[in-house]
């Protein structure tokens, strides 16, 4: 019994091509008037079975999707996707463009990571997945923890060697690597080794790299909670130090998907730790000094958050046009005319603002804003034990004054500035 087809059907297809497709997927492809897909995927369809017009995706794909769908509106359109279409795939774009599932039918196939876990005997729910397809490989660094298992979706044949290089650079040279090529297909192949001993030449472009993380003896151990050691960051002294940074991130309270403005980024440590809190967290660092701005980008790469956006320029002018933040941290520039007001104005109701300072001039400003808007005004005085002759004494760091506030809606007690 045939059912009216959904306007757009997405069919997941694996390296086993037509042979590996479920009956429903075959039927959708046979009935399609238009077949959209990458050239490699279109080639997997036997001409005798699928008579629809074949249209290869252009590159870049995302901007072309609405136009292509409009061009073929009213016809039975089948889109080919690799593996599970909703897992790092075209399914996401189509759901966004078509506005949900009413005009979209998705027929999934096992993803490459399901195949990989099947071959390796790994539980998928305990396995970290990182994609290097159209994204910077540097994100892998945030997933490296001793004993953890990571699957890396490769961008091409050269990716495994790049993974091995990155692991060695980050102190994870002893990690075991397995490159799994053409999973589920006739040309499936597996290559094993360690990152520090990776002599293998590039193989098939279609591959997944499995990593069993092993930290080298003496390599830095970077935990999950904010408050990484200061020497995890390259810096010139302009760095929110570890204990104050941990308290600052606690006040900023990142949640998945949220956007931070890190005003006066310095070395970027606050924005980096915000982004490490969850892979969907986003941040913009605004830093007037171009040398420091470059260093922020490098710290973001080293610590696995290459998506950190850096704006080189002086606030408040440099804040113009930035997307609305969920939270703002001010680590520098507090006395720049209009800076605090501009940050406050940019913050939506319910947004958090945290400002740190060590100077009396900025402290006076924070005290005035605290009187006006409430929140918490806190003094953080950290001392470290150091050698004093043959004894031990406290070395006091400059005390940091921190104002932390949640912006209330205009009718909830906010008085005009």
Ligand X SMILES: C[S@@+](CC[C@H](N)C(=O)[O-])C[C@H]1O[C@@H](n2cnc3c(N)ncnc32)[C@H](O)[C@@H]1O
The residues that touch ligand X, with contacts defined as CB under 6 A, are 238-240, 264-270, 286-289, 292, 314-315, 331-333, 336, 339
Q: Which is nearer to ligand X, 89 or 332 (CB)?
A: 332
CB of 277 to ligand X, least distance (A): 15
How far is 311 from 220, CA to CA, in rounded Å? 29
Q: Which is nearer to ligand X, 115 or 288 (CB)?
A: 288
Task: Count the neighbouring beta carbons within 10 Å of the beta carbon of residue 24.
Answer: 12
CB of 169 to ligand X, least distance (A): 22
Q: Which is nearer to ligand X, 160 or 331 (CB)?
A: 331
CB of 221 to ligand X, least distance (A): 20
Q: Which is nearer to ligand X, 115 or 245 (CB)?
A: 245
Contacts of 357 (CB under 8 A, 6+ apart): 334, 363, 366, 400, 401
Cβ-proximal residue to ligand X, closest one: 332
Q: Which residue has the tokens 């790299």?
A: 209
Q: Which is nearer to ligand X, 200 or 241 (CB)?
A: 241
Relative to beta strand 376-380, strand 104-107 is unpaired
CB of 292 to ligand X, least distance (A): 5
CB of 266 to ligand X, least distance (A): 3
CB of 245 to ligand X, least distance (A): 6
3-state SS assignment for residue 221 = coil
Q: Which is nearer to ligand X, 155 or 314 (CB)?
A: 314
Give yes or no for a contact between 248 and 242, defined as CB atoms under 8 angstroms apart: no
Nearest residue to 281 via CA among 239, 325, 319: 325
Nearest residue to 286 via CA among 229, 253, 325: 325
Q: Omega before 60 cis (within 30°)?
A: yes
What does the block give as tokens for 324? 């609305």
DSSP letter, residue 31:
H
């Amino acid at each position: 019994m045939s059912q009216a087809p959904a306007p757009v059907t997405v069919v997941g297809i694996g390296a086993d091509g037509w042979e590996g497709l479920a009956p429903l997927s075959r039927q959708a492809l046979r009935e399609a008037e238009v077949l959209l897909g990458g050239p490699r995927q279109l080639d997997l369809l036997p001409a005798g079975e699928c008579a629809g017009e074949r249209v290869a995706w252009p590159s870049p794909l995302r901007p072309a999707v609405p136009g292509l769908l409009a061009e073929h509106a009213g016809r039975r359109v089948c889109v080919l996707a690799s593996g599970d279409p909703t897992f790092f795939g075209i399914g996401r774009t189509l759901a966004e463009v078509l506005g949900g599932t009413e005009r979209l039918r998705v027929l999934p196939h096992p993803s490459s990571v399901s195949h990989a876990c099947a071959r390796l005997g790994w539980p998928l729910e305990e396995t970290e997945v990182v994609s290097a397809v159209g994204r910077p490989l540097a994100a892998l660094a945030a997933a490296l923890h001793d004993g953890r298992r990571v699957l890396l979706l490769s961008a091409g044949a050269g990716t495994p060697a790049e993974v091995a290089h990155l692991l060695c650079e980050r102190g994870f040279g002893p990690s075991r690597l397995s490159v799994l090529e053409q999973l589920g297909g006739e040309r499936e192949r597996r290559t094993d080794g360690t990152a520090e001993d990776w002599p293998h030449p590039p193989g098939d472009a279609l591959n997944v790299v499995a990593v069993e993380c092993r930290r080298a003896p003496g390599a830095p151990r970077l935990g999950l909670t904010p408050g990484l050691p200061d020497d995890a960051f390259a810096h010139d002294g302009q760095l929110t130090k570890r204990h104050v940074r941990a308290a600052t991130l606690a006040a900023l309270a990142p949640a998945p998907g949220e956007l931070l403005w890190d005003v006066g980024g310095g070395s970027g440590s606050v924005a980096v730790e915000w982004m490490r809190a969850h892979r969907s967290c986003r941040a913009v660092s605004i830093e007037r000094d171009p040398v420091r701005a470059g260093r922020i980008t490098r710290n973001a790469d080293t610590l696995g958050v290459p998506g950190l956006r850096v704006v080189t320029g002086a606030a408040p002018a440099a804040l113009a046009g930035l997307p609305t933040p969920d939270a703002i941290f001010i680590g520098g520039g507090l006395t720049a005319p209009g800076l605090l007001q501009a940050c406050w104005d940019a913050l939506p109701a319910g947004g958090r603002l945290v400002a740190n300072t060590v100077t009396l001039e900025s402290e006076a400003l924070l005290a005035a804003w605290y009187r006006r808007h409430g929140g918490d005004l806190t003094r953080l005085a950290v001392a470290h034990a150091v050698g004093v002759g043959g004894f031990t004494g406290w070395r006091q760091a400059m005390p940091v004054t921190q104002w932390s506030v949640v912006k209330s809606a205009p009718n909830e007690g906010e008085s005009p500035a």
